[in-house]
Amino acid sequence: MNAFNRGFTLTIPLVFILLVSGVTRKCIAQDNYKIYRQDVLNFWEAYDSLLPGVDTTEIFERLVINRATAPFKQFIRKSNITAKNYTLQTRRFPKFYRSLRASTLKLIDSEKETRSLVARLQKIYPGFVPADICIGIGNFKTGGTIYVDKKIRLVYIGLEFQGLDSSTIVSEFNATMKEYFSGSNFFRTIIHELVHVQQETHGSRVARSFHGDKLVHSVLREGIPTFVAKLVYPSGNDGTYVEYGLQHEIELKVKLKTQLWQPDTKYWLYNSNSTSGQPIDLGYFMGARIANSYYEKYRRNPHVIRQIIEIEQIEKFIDKSGYFSR
């Protein structure tokens, strides 16, 4: 999976009524998974302690790194989140951080809405395996990722990417970062990452379908969670690349078809350094469109979401989707 969740536009959107309610910010166990939000509060406590003459790195080390919840510690290690980077970034992007606080505090109080969305995913995909959700503010390394082993299943959401709203100031960043920010979507990213958990927990044949060395494996690994996340949560940002993808889908489809079984992903995925002038990570869009094509053909099948998430034969799935033949 990549660091940054991407969206797309469904051919036929679903209507889903969401209930929003503020709740306690403590970690609450319910429905076999927990939501951890204390690390966001730790960050803002540290941020408020950054007075002239104080050792900024020491404050972030003491209040954020050392007091991290157990799940956040996993992602601190995985994404190399450091107190030094917190210091550098809060100094470099002061307007961004000042404008970020309100939206992040609002999101960590969205317990009921988050659980409603997870319940929606469970309803359309009965094979759902839950995971604890950890929300934090990191070092611009990832907006969403997972950690899965034999004992632990964790989803991490980085609010420095997924906690923005229309009032967040992004003028201090370069064009690539602004493009990432355009897809900031907290709730959809949670679902996206939970689908990644499913890809890792439904047997070796399913896992191999998303971890081969060809472009097709990566496109489906990212595109399917993107599709399912949009299905579950149609609202919010898609990202600027969606408009481009829809406008150029025919030519993109032709190009992808010729490269699908090649190992090189740099044109399609994980290409933040691309100089092509095209939006980054178009593979998310194309993978989602393949999944959407399959869904539209078989949506009357009550097992269609399971068939999309638990792929065991990639070639058969691509063929049955009909995406490249229409």
9 versus 75: the higher-pLDDT residue is 75
Distances (CA, A) of 182 to 136, 137, 277, 314: 19, 18, 17, 31
Strand segments (E) across 121-191: 132-136, 144-148, 153-158
137: confidence class by pLDDT, cuts 50, 70, 90: very high
Residue range 28-325 in CATH 3.40.50:
no
Which pLDDT score is estimated for 274? Answer: 57
Q: Directed axis angle between helix 282-298 and helix 240-247, to 10°?
A: 60
Q: Is the pTM of this model over 0.85?
A: yes
216: confidence class by pLDDT, cuts 50, 70, 90: very high
In this predicted structure, the answer to whether residue 7 has a pLDDT above a threshold of 80 is no
Question: Facing residues of 157 across strands?
Answer: 135, 144
- Least confident residue range of 191-205, 229-243, 270-284: 270-284
Q: Directed axis angle between helix 249-259 and helix 215-232, to 10°?
A: 140
276: confidence class by pLDDT, cuts 50, 70, 90: low
272: confidence class by pLDDT, cuts 50, 70, 90: low
In this predicted structure, the answer to whether residue 280 has a pLDDT above a threshold of 50 is yes
95: confidence class by pLDDT, cuts 50, 70, 90: very high
Residue type, 115: R
Residue 88's SS3 state is helix
114: confidence class by pLDDT, cuts 50, 70, 90: very high
Which pLDDT score is estimated for 267? Answer: 85
Q: Name the token pair of 231.
A: 């299905």
How far is residue 75's CA from residue 138's CA, in Å, rounded to a whole number?
A: 9
In this predicted structure, the answer to whether residue 13 has a pLDDT above a threshold of 70 is no
In this predicted structure, the answer to whether residue 18 has a pLDDT above a threshold of 80 is no
In this predicted structure, the answer to whether residue 83 has a pLDDT above a threshold of 70 is yes
Backbone angles phi, psi at 292, to 5 degrees: -65, -40
Tell me what percent of the residues of the chain surpass a pLDDT of 90: 81
221: confidence class by pLDDT, cuts 50, 70, 90: very high
175 versus 169: the higher-pLDDT residue is 169
- Quickly tell me which residue has 């939000």 as its tokens: 37
In this predicted structure, the answer to whether residue 273 has a pLDDT above a threshold of 70 is no
279: confidence class by pLDDT, cuts 50, 70, 90: confident
In this predicted structure, the answer to whether residue 21 has a pLDDT above a threshold of 80 is no
